[in-house]
């Protein structure tokens, strides 16, 4: 409802105080108004009080918010000019009012110049900037006032208000179920951005108004009579659809104004309590469709299945006289209140009439808003903390919006920008103040990273950064620093090995790694480079003979299977002997020695061995329990061959493929069945490879060794394709 301009401030105040939700708190609201009035008189700015009470009317009468929200909008400008202190506000009112005021001030300070390219992030930022959703609703009231008085502002300010309305608050209104407000924002912003089109459609509507009014009246009259005859007390409203809606139909239907499909609409509102609401709506539907032929494809049942916003209504489109289509909406008075005011109407209906599906945060808020305002603050704050505590939004110096995790530090943000920026970061300027690396960023901060070419990562950084990606990058840089003496160590080993008449090759290096109990060739080289290992022991390492391994003969796989078939054992023993019994490892899960497994006897493909956690396991065991055999691995003799499919990622270089295959083949001594490397950009790659291993523990050791390669960041075993 828009405030009438001919009312005095006192009359507008009475309009506010007469609201049902302020019945017990009128004096508190009046006190806030008198403070605003006193401030406007002292500053010789009567328009300030006029504007504040106009906004208060919207807050209370259109958004149905109560005392704290009304006081907040009245005192916002007073607090903004430091005419009221925090202490005085809390004493005269309460702390919630002060928190609402500061929440609004945070939004006012936001740089929204780039919301066109960051719309969704800006909406999320607005919704997370304060713990109290009422901040957004009060801001919505301010926007409504501004959009209704757009002519008062300069052209640049008009552009900003219209842009925020169309791209930000229109979407928020839609998600909150504030359809009346949404329609108003659509209408005003279309008039602003598409003035010629808007005025052309508006003119055509006016030119056809007389004929349209007669048509709608003639269309409604039979319906009214029939509804009354059937005992339904209803209000029937007829209208032409909104100009933005008509424009969308012109575009989607690709026709001119005169041929727009279902240009007319009527709404049947049943004056009924909650009892038998659905039945009465369907009764009205039957009456309408008995009189006019419906289009079955145009039936929308939002009574049985309400929208996530709580919207309930029956929509159908019928053919009237002259073959004109008319949309008919059928709902009860309660449903109409909710449809017009969204969540704001819910507080009036506290029964457990409908159990709405909680599809998003707004549904949670709606449910909370059904409670009295005194209990809102805690509930809304808890809901927001539960749903949004893992996200914050940060502004760059250029006004771009970046999404981070809650708890991220300046250093985390620097590494999010680029590894080089992170590695040379010395601090940041946050909201025009210099802060250290470990400073924890807050929602809405404006951040400029400071760097120095002399800065290097430190182990201390790992104590306070939060991002796993940042931790990985820091460890990688520190690893490079850790092995800075490895080249010197390599030369020491090479010279000593040559002196002993051995060829310096991978076999020799592997032997030294094993002898000196190192995890990699880099560690071996570094320890020699630092002087921590004695070169004189290299001779002993290369000349010492290995002890022979005694083989233990066990029963063959075919013999074990024969025992299972004969009932002598309850499970299969799986090893690498397949001479007599045909079995295969299932490609859907690719089991490796050490995995928990079971055997499945297929009709045409013999025995298939699956992991117990295979994605097909539940279906196989449930549908064909008589084909399932328990299976166990034979004790590992090191001769089994299994294929493992790995996905990897890391730092890209032109020789990454050579380095990787060389490392796997010569250092780890494993067979590579296939390998593929795909560059993501000039700095990163992803890849896949199939390798042969002899057990799960063997594969885990290989993965650990691969992760120690400077170029490798992640290694993950996946199912074969």
Give the containing element (helix H, strand E) for 290: helix 277-291
Is pLDDT above 70 for 522?
yes
Q: Partners of 584 in the beta sheet? A: 608
CA-CA distance, 290 to 32, in Å (whole number)? 56
Note whether 646 and 712 are within 8 A (CB). no
Which of 409 and 525 is assigned the larger pLDDT? Answer: 409
- Tens of pLDDT, residues 26-35: 889 889 888 8
Q: What is the pLDDT of residue 227?
A: 92
Count of residues making up the chain: 721
Pairing of strands 314-319, 325-332: antiparallel
Give the containing element (helix H, strand E) for 597: strand 597-601
Least confident segment among 203-207, 599-603, 644-648, 701-705: 599-603
* Phi, psi for 112 (deg, rounded to 5): -105, 20
Q: What is the pLDDT of residue 121?
A: 72
**Mean pLDDT across the stretch 566-591?**
59
Q: Give the pair of three-digit tokens for residue 526.
A: 């570094």
CA-CA distance, 303 to 92, in Å (whole number)? 46
Note whether 578 and 602 are within 8 A (CB). no
Please state the three-class secondary structure of 375-429 as a single string.
HHHHHHHHHHHHHHCCCEEEECCCCCEEEECCCCEHHHHHHHHCHHHHHCEEEEE
Q: Structural domains in the chain?
A: 9-199 (1.10.3210.10), 200-348 (3.30.460.10), 392-482 (3.10.20.30), 486-543 (no CATH), 557-633 (no CATH), 642-718 (3.30.70.260)
Average pLDDT of the chain is 77
Tokens 């909710």 — which residue? Answer: 338
Q: Give the pair of three-digit tokens for residue 411.
A: 């250093």
Q: What is the pLDDT of residue 564?
A: 42
Q: 355: closest CA among 365, 345, 367, 344?
A: 367
Q: Give the pair of three-digit tokens for residue 447.
A: 């951040």
Q: Give the pair of three-digit tokens for residue 683.
A: 């700095």
Q: Return the number of other C-beta atoms located less than 10 Å from residue 327's C-beta.
A: 20
Q: What is the pLDDT of residue 558?
A: 41
Q: Give the pair of three-digit tokens for residue 717.
A: 């075993």
**Mean pLDDT across the stretch 48-75?**
88
CA-CA distance, 531 to 492, in Å (whole number)? 10
What is the band of 314 on the pLDDT scale with cuts at 50, 70, 90?
very high
Q: What is the pLDDT of residue 331?
A: 92
CA-CA distance, 546 to 506, in Å (whole number)? 18
Note whether 643 and 692 are within 8 A (CB). yes
Q: 586: closest CA among 618, 626, 616?
A: 616
Q: Report helix angle 119-128 to 134-148, nearest 10.
A: 120
Q: What is the pLDDT of residue 582?
A: 59
Q: What is the pLDDT of residue 635?
A: 61
Give the containing element (helix H, strand E) for 138: helix 134-148
Q: What is the pLDDT of residue 575?
A: 58
CA-CA distance, 429 to 445, in Å (whole number)? 10
Tokens 């049942």 — which residue? Answer: 301
Q: 52: closest CA among 19, 15, 90, 9?
A: 9
- Tens of pLDDT, residues 331-376: 998 888 877 765 544 434 433 333 333 334 444 454 443 333 433 3
Burial of 136 (0-12, 13-18, 19+ CB in 10 A): buried
Give the sign of the dihedral formed by CA 142, CA 147, CA 153, CA 155.
Answer: positive
- Tens of pLDDT, residues 485-514: 777 888 888 888 888 888 888 888 888 888
Radius of gyration, CA atoms only, the chain = 37
- Tens of pLDDT, residues 211-222: 878 888 889 999
- Tens of pLDDT, residues 249-297: 788 777 777 766 567 788 999 987 667 888 889 999 999 988 988 877 7
> What is each CA distance from 310 to 192, 358, 721, in whole angstroms?
31, 10, 45
Q: 437 CB contacts (<8 Å, ≥6 apart)? A: 409, 410, 411, 425, 426, 427, 428, 461, 464
pTM as predicted: 0.49
Q: 308: closest CA among 229, 363, 269, 372?
A: 363
Pairing of strands 293-294, 314-319: antiparallel
Q: What is the pLDDT of residue 500?
A: 82
Is pLDDT above 90 for 223?
yes
Q: Give the pair of three-digit tokens for residue 607.
A: 């025995």
CA-CA distance, 384 to 401, in Å (whole number)? 20
- Tens of pLDDT, residues 132-172: 778 888 988 999 999 888 888 888 888 888 888 888 888 88
Q: Give the pair of three-digit tokens for residue 504.
A: 């310096």
**Mean pLDDT across the stretch 397-426?**
85
Residues 640, 708, 420, CA angle at the centre, nearest 5°?
145
């Amino acid at each position: 409802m828009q405030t009438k301009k001919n009312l005095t401030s006192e009359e507008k105040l009475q309009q506010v105080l007469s609201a049902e939700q302020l019945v017990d708190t009128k004096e508190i609201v009046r006190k806030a108004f008198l403070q605003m009035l006193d401030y406007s008189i002292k500053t010789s700015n009567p328009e300030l009080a006029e504007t504040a009470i106009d906004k208060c009317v919207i807050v209370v009468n259109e958004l149905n918010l109560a005392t704290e929200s009304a006081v907040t909008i009245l005192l916002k400008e007073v607090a903004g000019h430091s005419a009221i202190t925090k202490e005085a506000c809390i004493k005269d009112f309460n702390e919630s009012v002060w928190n609402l005021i500061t929440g609004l001030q945070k939004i006012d300070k936001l740089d929204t110049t780039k919301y066109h390219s960051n719309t969704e992030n800006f909406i999320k930022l607005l919704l997370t900037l304060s713990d109290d959703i009422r901040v957004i609703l009060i801001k919505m009231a301010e926007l409504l006032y501004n959009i209704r008085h757009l002519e008062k502002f300069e052209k640049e300010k008009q552009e900003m208000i219209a842009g925020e309305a169309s791209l930000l608050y229109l979407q928020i209104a839609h998600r909150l179920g504030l359809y009346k407000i949404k329609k108003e924002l659509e209408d005003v912003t279309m008039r602003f951005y598409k003035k010629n089109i808007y005025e052309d459609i508006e003119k055509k509507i006016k030119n056809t108004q007389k004929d349209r009014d007669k048509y709608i009246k003639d269309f409604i009259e039979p319906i009214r009579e029939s509804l009354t005859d059937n005992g339904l007390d209803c209000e029937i409203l007829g209208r032409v659809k909104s100009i933005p809606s008509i424009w969308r139909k012109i575009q989607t239907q690709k026709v001119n104004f005169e041929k727009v499909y279902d240009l007319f609409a009527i709404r049947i509102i049943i004056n009924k309590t909650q009892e038998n609401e659905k039945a009465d709506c369907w009764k009205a539907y039957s009456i309408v469709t008995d009189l006019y032929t419906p289009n079955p494809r145009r039936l929308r049942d939002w009574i049985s299945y309400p929208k996530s916003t709580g919207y309930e209504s029956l929509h159908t489109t019928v053919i009237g006289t002259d073959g004109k289509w008319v949309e008919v909406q059928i709902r009860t008075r309660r449903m109409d209140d909710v449809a017009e005011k969204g969540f704001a109407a819910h507080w009036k209906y506290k029964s457990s009439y409908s159990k709405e599906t909680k599809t998003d945060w707004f549904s949670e808020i709606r449910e909370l808003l059904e409670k009295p305002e005194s209990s809102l603050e805690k509930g809304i704050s808890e809901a927001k903390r539960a749903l949004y505590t893992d996200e914050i939004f940060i502004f760059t110096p250029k006004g771009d919006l970046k999404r981070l995790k809650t708890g991220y530090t300046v250093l985390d943000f620097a590494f999010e920008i680029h590894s080089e920026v992170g590695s040379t970061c010395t601090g940041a300027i946050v909201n025009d103040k210099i802060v250290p690396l470990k400073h924890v960023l807050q929602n809405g901060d404006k951040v400029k990273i400071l760097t120095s070419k002399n800065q290097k990562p430190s182990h201390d950084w790992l104590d306070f950064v939060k991002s796993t990606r940042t931790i990985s990058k820091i460890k990688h840089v520190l690893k490079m620093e850790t092995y800075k003496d490895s080249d010197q160590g390599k030369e020491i080993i090479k010279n000593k090995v040559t002196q002993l008449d051995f060829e310096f090759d991978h076999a020799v290096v592997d032997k030294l790694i094993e002898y000196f109990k190192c995890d990699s060739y880099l560690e071996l080289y570094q320890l020699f480079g630092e002087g921590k290992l004695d070169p004189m022991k290299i001779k002993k390492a290369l000349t010492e003979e290995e002890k022979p391994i005694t083989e233990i003969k066990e029963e063959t796989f075919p013999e074990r299977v024969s025992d299972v078939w004969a009932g002598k054992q309850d499970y299969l023993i799986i090893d690498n002997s397949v001479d007599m019994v045909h079995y295969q490892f299932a490609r859907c899960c690719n089991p490796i020695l050490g995995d928990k497994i079971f055997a499945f006897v297929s009709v045409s493909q013999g025995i298939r061995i699956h992991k117990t956690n295979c994605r097909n396991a539940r279906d196989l065991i449930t549908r064909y329990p008589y084909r399932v055999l328990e299976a166990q691995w034979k004790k590992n003799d090191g001769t089994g061959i299994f294929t493992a499919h790995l996905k990897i990622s890391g730092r890209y270089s032109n020789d990454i493929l050579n380095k990787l295959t060389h490392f796997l083949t010569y250092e780890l001594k494993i067979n590579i069945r296939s390998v593929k490397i795909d560059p993501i950009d000039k700095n990163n790659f992803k890849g896949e490879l199939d390798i042969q291993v002899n057990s799960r523990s063997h594969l885990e050791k290989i993965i650990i060794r691969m992760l120690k390669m400077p170029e490798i960041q992640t290694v993950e075993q996946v199912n074969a394709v």
